[in-house]
């Protein structure tokens, strides 16, 4: 039984994949739109049938006509509900990452080419739906929240685009794969000692062209040095051509290291590192990050935090 | 303010006879912050035009005659170590001016051409890693010879895109020529012209150009022109979005010259040829100008369906 | 408590006005309390929407529902049946407006409103109410569209326009369904108990009952003839016969010796002997016509003798009248061919003769004695009958709608004392006198006359045309019609009731109708209205199985259920496809803006004037060229160009609506000024 259901589900997804292949940009057309009466639609038809029976029994042609009008209206609603979705263009836009276990958000841009598309509902599986309307030629952007379960890149599944406008008697929908992914940072795990090493062992490295925070000294001019860095004043005093040396401040530079968290499973290590990244960032410290598959040069500020978190999110992913 | 521009144009027309349309285009190009390419035989009054423009708009003027042995430094400038002051001193090249007449640009090597065109685009010159902004306004009038002669390097199409307009002055009409022959030396006359606008006023006018209203319908018309240039099969390659922006900017400047605060389709049609002729290449035999005329006639001004 | 669902502001006006207007026909028709309660409930709902009141609690709503059910029970004595059911439905529908906690409730209310709206057709079926209901339907659909658009700041008119469009698109499809969906016979019998009850004839007659009808202006039926319309003196519409007299009341009765099967012959039933005989004996076909009858609640159909109809559910009764298998609950339409009365070949059967001469013993002895005497003095039955008619004509009998009451011996009392009466008095006495003389006689009830509507060339027969007359069996002739009323008041037959009464210094008090008739303009108007109503009755209300088959066989040849379904699918499907293609095609090209349409109109005008400016010319140049050609229109053209430029190219400043109107005015001016 279970395997049967799985087979059906696989067949369905395979079919969907062929029918609506993943793409960053999807134009909804008749191949991609499904349509089916809603519960109210059935209720409406029931009323029409009741009126039909009444019309037959009372031999009342107007009652029959009214019932036919309701049915015709229903048929017209098929066209209108379909049209409300047809011609809508969906484009995957930017992404707002979040911590694993919380929510992230993905931006979807909705464009209308020719006619208005009103009251369109969009949502990823398992997430609340958002309503949007676009007028002809208009473009709207919508942030849709995504439940982030694991660390790493996350595919939110197929976006469900649904509309019942105008009459609510029918539901037209499409399941589009916008090839959109949301980044999930590791869930911060507090506790433990700061898995960091001070930077004393790094002093030998020459930091000549990186940053210019602190004047370090002069050395003799080497062809190729930027003229900007030539100490013209000393040259004027006849001390020859010298180039100014600058360096990063050595103290307060911390390396958060994967290797300093032995004995934990990888996800815990990422969680710890994440926690410390946030901690250090909050204190405004400079820090670097060393992971088995790469390292981030020390730095501080929001950009550094962003980079560190991204690295933590993507670490361990092949490719 | 526009009357001042009008006076300026009249003044220039008094020197460069019978070329009012081209003068207006040159001024529009200046107001639209573009650069102008004049394709003409020598002796058609290019220099006089440039000179006169510089005078009436009180612009600092330099002229560079391009030759094949010219180096980028000859245009941009060079840092020279001054043993007296024992310091490097930058000697800015002729590009550091407000109006540059680049005569016979196609005689220079592509490298030199590239240096100038880059400076035109960036509106700054980087020497020894230091960027120096060019003066404001910065207006280049480049000329090139239409007849392909030995030892010329025709400008590549991508470079031509940097010029907002290309015009040609052409031979004068018979009456104009008589007036020309009987009058005094035009170039001398240009030197003695009185400025009509200060630089500050000119800058203000340039700001005003950007505020000229282009309605949705007009933008739609411009877009349909661009679209047809791409899909109409008239040209090898259609107009770029940059060309479209240029077209709209030139039309705005033209509208300002006409004393309007909004663009009309006529403005677009007037500047269409000058703005696009050097960017397009007709696909079917005929001249580019004829193809552009076809483009113009194929696109209805007001949407009909 | 969860947040209560709020009907969008832009949908609410449609919802509330739709609800009120949907209930209105019922409120005007049904009990007074309904027309008080429904507006109150809707007002309450408006207050809730405005935030003045809260939604009533469960208890209040329950009490209200009980109250409404109780009131219905009190008014109708039942909660079942269409009449009470509809009252309860309307009341409950209004109450449901106070129970809108979720979107679902809003849907239910609107779909219920469709139902409420449709039930109005149970009680009236005119063209006007149909248009009215169509308009209310537009409102309800607009409300439905509105609740499906949860955003705020939307114009309600947008819903209205879409609703109008959708219904407009649905109407062709509806017409296809209406024409092609097979009409089924009733699944079970239902009756609407209308308040006015049954109108028209009843199955018995006592003095004074027909004259009651004569005060009614209601339409009984309309007749459309193929060919000439018979003169008034031949327009005797037979409905039923009264064969039994109890001294006061004449009643319809079937001779006890006859079983029902024998009595009425239907097309698909067995043909009894008398019917075959009739077919053999009947005279020439005299009239062919179509009768469209209003709902009567009875099964009697009216026709001139001897009527034959080929409808399956119409039968011919032995007393030569048409009956329908079931009562008429709606407009009914049937075709009749009338043949001349057959000449009797055989005499009456004995039991039949006995039945038609039977009189209660001792009733009206004076009249009975006179009959005996006069018959003895006459040479034949026919001569006796003619003597009676002559006597009625010569003696001082009065034709009046307000006869005095009659005593126990009604015939004696009338013939010898009051002498003032209406057709039933004359017919009753005449039949009595015939029977008393041993001549088989019966009373025929129906209508006589009818007013010709020159627009449709059809007759309208109204209740005041109700009439009774007599048929007597004469040897060697068969049933012969006698109209004693004609002997007293010939104008009744030739000119109608009103003229006849006027001859006896009496006015009908059909009041308004008389006023209407006296004004020629109003007469024409009433003819027009009647013509429209007749068309409605014929083509819409009377479109039944028979008509459908006739209509379809013209297109399909032989009509089979398969063919009907195929046609329905083909026509309906292609209609839908056409609409889909149209909608998608329209979607491909964005609509023109108003100024673009205006420009196109201007160019069209110029083309009409022989100017053909190329499309790539800027408007200003086009106008300049036109101004040169038409100097007279130059000023208007320049103004137009100015406005156009302001609307299209200038920075927006002026009111665009104003500009639009100005442009149209100027263009018309240009059109005038450029005319040569």
The Cα of A57 is separated from the nearest Cα of chain C by a number of Å equal to 4
More confidently predicted of B236 and A213: B236
Binary contact (A227, B129; C-beta < 8 A): yes
Binary contact (B88, A235; C-beta < 8 A): no
Binary contact (B305, C621; C-beta < 8 A): no
CA A288 to chain centre: 26
Mean pLDDT of B210-239: 87
* CB contacts, 8 Å: A228 with chain B: 129-130
B262 touches B215 (CB < 8 A)? yes
List all residues of chain B from 106 to 135 with a beta carbon under 8 Å from chain A: 128-130
Q: What is the ipTM of this complex?
A: 0.85
The pair of structure tokens assigned to C461 is 């027969």
Phi, psi for residue B126 in degrees, rounded to 5: -105, 115
Place of tokens 């919508």: A142
* CB contacts, 8 Å: C141 with chain A: 73, 167
Binary contact (B262, C589; C-beta < 8 A): no
Burial of C54 (0-12, 13-18, 19+ CB in 10 A): exposed
More confidently predicted of A313 and C145: C145
Say if C153 is an interface residue toward chain A (CB within 8 Å): no
Q: Using one digit for the tens of pLDDT, what is the confidence trace for A215-264? A: 556 666 655 566 666 677 777 766 666 666 654 444 456 788 888 888 77
Place of tokens 């005093």: A237
* CB contacts, 8 Å: C592 with chain B: 303-305
pLDDT of residue C676: 65
Longest dimension (CA), chain B: 75
Binary contact (B129, A236; C-beta < 8 A): no
A183 touches A154 (CB < 8 A)? yes
pLDDT of residue B253: 93
* CB contacts, 8 Å: C615 with chain B: 300-302, 304
C659 touches C643 (CB < 8 A)? yes
C404 touches C207 (CB < 8 A)? no
pLDDT band at C195, cuts 50/70/90? very low
Give the 3-state secondary structure percentages of chain C, helix then strand then coil, rounded to 5: 55, 15, 35
Max mean pLDDT among A104-113, B25-34, C394-403 falls in: B25-34
Q: HSE-up of C543 (CA within 13 Å, CB side)? A: 21
pLDDT band at B286, cuts 50/70/90? low
Residues 6+ apart with CB under 8 A from C335: C288, C289, C290, C291, C309, C310, C311
The Cα of C577 is separated from the nearest Cα of chain B by a number of Å equal to 24
Binary contact (C145, A164; C-beta < 8 A): no
Q: Angle CA(C669)–CA(C675)–CA(C676) in degrees, nearest 5? A: 150
Handedness of CA C294, C300, C301, C303 (dihedral sign): negative
Annotated catalytic residue within C83, C381, C413, C483? C483
* CB contacts, 8 Å: A68 with chain C: 173-174, 177-178, 181
Percent of chain B at pLDDT > 90 equals 17
Domains B2-202 and B211-298 alike in fold: no
Predicted confidence (pLDDT) at residue A209 exceeds the cutoff of 50:
no
pLDDT of residue A23: 79
pLDDT of residue A196: 74
Cis-peptide, bond into residue C556, ω within 30° of zero: no
- Calculate the average pLDDT of chain C: 84
Binary contact (C174, A64; C-beta < 8 A): no
Mean pLDDT of C592-608: 85
Predicted confidence (pLDDT) at residue C592 exceeds the cutoff of 80:
no
The Cα of A150 is separated from the nearest Cα of chain C by a number of Å equal to 33
Predicted confidence (pLDDT) at residue B284 exceeds the cutoff of 70:
no
pLDDT band at A319, cuts 50/70/90? very low
B164 touches B249 (CB < 8 A)? yes
The domain spans of chain B are 2-202, 211-298
Mean pLDDT of B116-135: 82
Phi, psi for residue A108 in degrees, rounded to 5: -120, 130
Binary contact (C590, A60; C-beta < 8 A): no
Q: Is C467 part of the annotated catalytic residue set? A: yes
Residues in chain A: 319
Binary contact (B266, C618; C-beta < 8 A): yes
* Cα torsion through C144, C148, C153, C155, rounded to 10: -40
Least confident of A309-318, C134-143, C341-350, C482-491: C341-350
* CB contacts, 8 Å: A227 with chain B: 88, 128-129
Least confident of A185-189, A208-212, C30-34, C616-620: A208-212
Percent of chain A at pLDDT > 90 equals 17
Q: CA nearest C358: which of C481, C205, C245?
A: C245
Residues 6+ apart with CB under 8 A from A291: A258, A273, A311, A312, A315
More confidently predicted of A312 and C188: A312
Say if B82 is an interface residue toward chain A (CB within 8 Å): no
pLDDT of residue C629: 87
Least confident of B289-293, C33-37, C542-546: C542-546
Q: Find the chain C residues whose C-beta atoms sit closer than 8 A to any C-beta of B.
A: 589, 592-593, 595-596, 599-600, 614-621, 645, 648-651
Nearest C-alpha in C relative to B213: C651
pLDDT of residue C136: 95
Mean pLDDT of B153-167: 83
Predicted confidence (pLDDT) at residue B252 exceeds the cutoff of 90:
yes
* CB contacts, 8 Å: A87 with chain C: 587
pLDDT of residue B14: 83
pLDDT of residue A63: 92
pLDDT of residue B134: 86
Predicted confidence (pLDDT) at residue C643 exceeds the cutoff of 80:
yes
List all residues of chain B from 233 to 292 with a beta carbon under 8 Å from chain C: 261-266, 269
The Cα of C479 is separated from the nearest Cα of chain A by a number of Å equal to 36
* CB contacts, 8 Å: A236 with chain B: 86-87
List all residues of chain C from 362 to 401 with a beta carbon under 8 Å from chain A: none
Q: Using one digit for the tens of pLDDT, what is the confidence trace for C68-82? A: 899 888 888 887 777
Predicted confidence (pLDDT) at residue C205 exceeds the cutoff of 90:
no
pLDDT band at A77, cuts 50/70/90? very high
The Cα of C162 is separated from the nearest Cα of chain A by a number of Å equal to 8
Helix residue ranges per DSSP H, A132-265:
232-236
pLDDT of residue C196: 44
Partner-chain residue, chosen from B218, B264, B303, that has the shortest CB–CB distance to C592: B303
Binary contact (C615, B213; C-beta < 8 A): no
Residues 6+ apart with CB under 8 A from C143: C11, C14, C15, C18, C110, C113, C159
pLDDT band at A207, cuts 50/70/90? very low
* CATH fold of B2-202: Rossmann fold (3.40.50)
Predicted confidence (pLDDT) at residue C2 exceeds the cutoff of 60:
no
B276 touches B34 (CB < 8 A)? no
Give the 3-state secondary structure percentages of chain B, helix then strand then coil, rounded to 5: 45, 15, 40
Q: CA nearest A81: which of C578, C109, C104, C583?
A: C583
Binary contact (B305, C651; C-beta < 8 A): no
CA distances in angstroms from A135 to A132, B304, C164, listed in the order given: 10, 21, 20
pLDDT of residue C40: 92
More confidently predicted of C502 and B108: B108
Q: Using one digit for the tens of pLDDT, what is the confidence trace for B190-211? A: 777 888 888 888 888 899 998 9
Mean pLDDT of C332-336: 87
Cis-peptide, bond into residue B146, ω within 30° of zero: no
Q: How far apart are CA A62 and CA A60, in angstroms?
A: 5
The pair of structure tokens assigned to B176 is 């104009």
Binary contact (A64, C580; C-beta < 8 A): no
* CB contacts, 8 Å: B87 with chain A: 232, 236
Mean pLDDT of A77-104: 87
- The CATH code for residues B211-298 is 1.10.8.80
pLDDT of residue A173: 92
pLDDT of residue C21: 93
pLDDT band at A302, cuts 50/70/90? confident
Which of the other chains make 3 or more beta carbon contacts under 8 angstroms with chain B?
A, C
The pair of structure tokens assigned to C567 is 């046609």
Mean pLDDT of B52-63: 88
Partner-chain residue, chosen from B213, B269, B305, that has the shortest CB–CB distance to C618: B269
Percent of chain B at pLDDT > 70 equals 96
Partner-chain residue, chosen from B86, B87, B129, that has the shortest CB–CB distance to A228: B129
């Amino acid at each position: 039984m279970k395997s049967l259901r799985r087979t059906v589900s696989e067949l369905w997804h395979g079919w969907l994949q062929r029918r609506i292949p993943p793409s960053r940009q999807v134009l909804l057309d008749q191949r991609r739109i499904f349509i089916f009466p809603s519960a109210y639609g059935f209720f409406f038809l029931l009323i029409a049938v009741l009126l039909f029976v009444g019309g037959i029994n009372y031999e009342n042609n107007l009652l029959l006509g009214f019932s036919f009008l309701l049915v015709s209206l229903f048929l017209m609603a098929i066209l209108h509900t379909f049209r409300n979705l047809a011609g809508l263009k969906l484009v995957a836009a930017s992404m707002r990452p979040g911590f694993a276990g919380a929510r992230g958000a993905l931006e979807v841009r909705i464009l209308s080419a020719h006619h208005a598309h009103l009251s369109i509902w969009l949502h990823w599986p398992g997430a609340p739906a958002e309503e949007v309307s676009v007028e002809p030629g208009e473009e709207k952007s919508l942030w849709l929240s995504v439940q982030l379960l694991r660390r790493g890149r996350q595919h939110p599944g197929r976006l469900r685009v649904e509309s019942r406008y105008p009459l609510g008697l029918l539901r037209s929908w499409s399941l589009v794969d916008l090839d959109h992914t949301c980044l999930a940072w590791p869930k911060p795990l507090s506790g433990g000692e700061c898995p960091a090493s001070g930077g004393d062992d790094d002093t030998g490295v020459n930091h000549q062209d990186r940053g210019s925070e602190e004047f370090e000294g002069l050395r003799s001019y080497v062809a190729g040095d930027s003229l900007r860095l030539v100490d013209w004043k000393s040259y004027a005093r006849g001390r020859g051509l010298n180039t100014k040396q600058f360096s990063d401040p050595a103290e307060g530079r911390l390396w958060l290291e994967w290797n300093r968290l032995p004995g934990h499973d990888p996800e815990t290590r990422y969680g710890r590192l994440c926690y410390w990244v946030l901690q250090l960032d909050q204190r405004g410290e400079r820090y670097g990050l060393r992971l088995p598959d790469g390292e981030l040069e020390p730095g501080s500020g929001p950009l550094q935090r962003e980079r560190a978190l991204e690295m933590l999110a993507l670490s361990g992913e092949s490719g | 303010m526009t009357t001042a521009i009008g006076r300026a144009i009249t003044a220039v027309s008094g020197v460069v006879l019978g070329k009012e349309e081209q003068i207006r285009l040159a001024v529009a190009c200046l107001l639209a912050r573009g650069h102008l390419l004049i394709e003409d035989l020598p002796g058609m009054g290019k220099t006089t035009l440039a000179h006169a423009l510089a005078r009436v708009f009180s612009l600092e003027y330099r002229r560079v005659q391009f030759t094949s042995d010219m180096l980028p430094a000859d245009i941009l400038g060079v840092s020279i170590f001054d043993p007296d002051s024992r310091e490097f001193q930058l000697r800015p090249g002729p590009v550091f001016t407000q109006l540059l007449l680049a005569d016979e640009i196609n005689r220079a090597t592509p490298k030199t051409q590239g240096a100038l065109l880059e400076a035109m685009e960036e509106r700054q010159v980087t020497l020894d890693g230091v960027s120096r902004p060019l003066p404001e306004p910065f207006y280049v009038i480049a000329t090139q010879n239409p007849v392909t002669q030995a030892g010329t390097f025709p400008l590549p199409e991508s470079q031509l895109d940097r010029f907002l307009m290309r015009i040609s002055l052409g031979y004068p009409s018979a009456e104009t020529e008589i007036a020309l022959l009987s009058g005094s030396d035009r170039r001398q006359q240009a030197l003695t012209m009185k400025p009509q606008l200060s630089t500050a006023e000119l800058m203000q006018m340039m700001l005003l150009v950007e505020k000229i209203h282009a309605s949705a319908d007009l933008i739609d018309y411009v877009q349909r022109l661009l679209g047809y240039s791409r899909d109409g099969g008239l040209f090898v390659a259609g107009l770029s979005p940059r060309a479209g922006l240029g077209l709209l900017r030139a039309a705005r400047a033209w509208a300002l010259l006409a004393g309007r605060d909004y663009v009309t389709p006529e403005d677009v049609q007037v500047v269409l040829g000058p703005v696009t002729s050097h960017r397009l290449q007709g696909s079917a035999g005929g001249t580019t100008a004829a193809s552009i005329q076809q483009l113009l006639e194929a696109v209805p001004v007001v949407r009909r369906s | 408590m969860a947040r209560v669902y709020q009907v969008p502001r832009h949908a609410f006006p449609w919802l509330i006005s739709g609800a009120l207007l949907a209930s209105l026909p019922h409120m005007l028709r049904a009990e007074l309390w309904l027309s008080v309660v429904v507006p109150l409930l809707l007002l309450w709902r408006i207050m809730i929407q405005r935030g003045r009141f809260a939604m009533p609690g469960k208890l209040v709503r329950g009490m209200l529902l009980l109250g409404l059910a109780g009131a219905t029970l009190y008014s109708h004595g039942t909660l079942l049946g269409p009449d009470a059911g509809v009252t309860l439905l309307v009341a409950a529908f209004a109450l449901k407006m106070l129970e809108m906690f979720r979107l679902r409730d809003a849907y239910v209310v609107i779909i219920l409103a469709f139902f409420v709206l449709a039930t109005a057709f149970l009680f009236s079926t005119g063209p006007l109410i149909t248009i009215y209901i169509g308009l209310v339907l537009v409102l309800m659909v607009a409300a439905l569209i509105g609740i499906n658009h949860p955003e705020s700041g939307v114009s309600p008119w947008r819903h209205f326009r879409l609703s109008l469009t959708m219904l407009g698109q649905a109407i062709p499809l509806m017409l296809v369904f209406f024409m092609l969906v097979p009409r089924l016979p009733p699944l079970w019998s239902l009756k609407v108990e209308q308040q006015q009850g049954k109108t028209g004839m009843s199955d018995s007659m006592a003095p004074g009952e027909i004259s009651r009808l004569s005060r009614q202006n209601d339409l009984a039926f309309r007749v459309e003839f193929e060919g000439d319309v018979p003169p008034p003196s031949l327009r005797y519409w037979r409905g039923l016969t009264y064969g039994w007299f109890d001294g006061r009341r004449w009643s319809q009765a079937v001779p006890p010796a006859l079983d029902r099967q024998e009595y009425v012959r239907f097309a698909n039933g067995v043909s009894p002997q008398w019917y075959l005989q009739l077919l053999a004996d009947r005279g020439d076909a005299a009239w062919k016509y179509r009768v469209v009858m209003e709902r009567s609640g009875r099964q009697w159909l009216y026709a001139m003798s001897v009527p034959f109809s080929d409808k399956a559910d119409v039968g011919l009764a032995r007393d030569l009248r048409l009956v329908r298998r079931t009562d008429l609950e709606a407009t009914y339409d049937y075709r009749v061919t009338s043949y001349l009365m057959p000449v009797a070949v055989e005499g009456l059967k004995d039991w039949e003769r006995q039945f038609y001469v039977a009189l209660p013993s001792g009733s009206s002895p004076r009249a009975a004695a006179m009959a005996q005497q006069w018959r003895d003095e006459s040479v034949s039955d026919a001569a006796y009958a003619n003597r009676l008619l002559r006597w009625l004509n010569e003696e001082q009998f009065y034709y009046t709608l307000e006869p005095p009451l009659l005593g126990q011996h009604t015939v004696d009392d009338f013939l010898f004392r009051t002498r003032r009466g209406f057709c039933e008095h004359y017919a009753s006495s005449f039949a009595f006198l015939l029977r008393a003389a041993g001549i088989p006689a019966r009373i025929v009830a129906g209508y006589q006359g009818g007013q010709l509507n020159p627009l449709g060339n059809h007759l309208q027969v109204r209740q005041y045309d109700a009439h009774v007359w007599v048929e007597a069996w004469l040897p060697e002739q068969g049933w012969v019609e006698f109209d004693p009323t004609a002997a007293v008041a010939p104008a009744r037959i030739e000119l109608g009731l009103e003229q006849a009464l006027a001859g006896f210094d009496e006015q009908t008090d059909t009041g308004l109708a008389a006023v209407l008739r006296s004004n020629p303009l109003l007469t024409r108007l009433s003819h027009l209205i009647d013509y429209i109503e007749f068309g409605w009755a014929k083509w819409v209300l009377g479109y039944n199985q028979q008509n459908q088959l006739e209509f379809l066989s013209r297109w399909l040849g032989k009509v089979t259920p398969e063919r009907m379904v195929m046609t329905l699918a083909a026509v309906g499907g292609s209609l839908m496809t056409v609409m889909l293609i149209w909608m998608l095609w329209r979607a491909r090209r964005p609509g023109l803006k108003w100024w673009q349409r205006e420009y196109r109109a201007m160019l069209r005008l110029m083309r009409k004037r022989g100017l053909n400016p190329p499309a790539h010319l800027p408007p200003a140049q086009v106008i300049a060229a036109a101004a040169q050609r038409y100097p007279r229109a130059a000023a208007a053209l320049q103004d137009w160009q100015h406005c156009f430029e302001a609307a299209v190219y200038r920075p927006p400043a002026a009111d665009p609506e104003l500009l639009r109107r100005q442009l149209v005015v100027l263009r018309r001016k240009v059109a005038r000024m450029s005319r040569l």
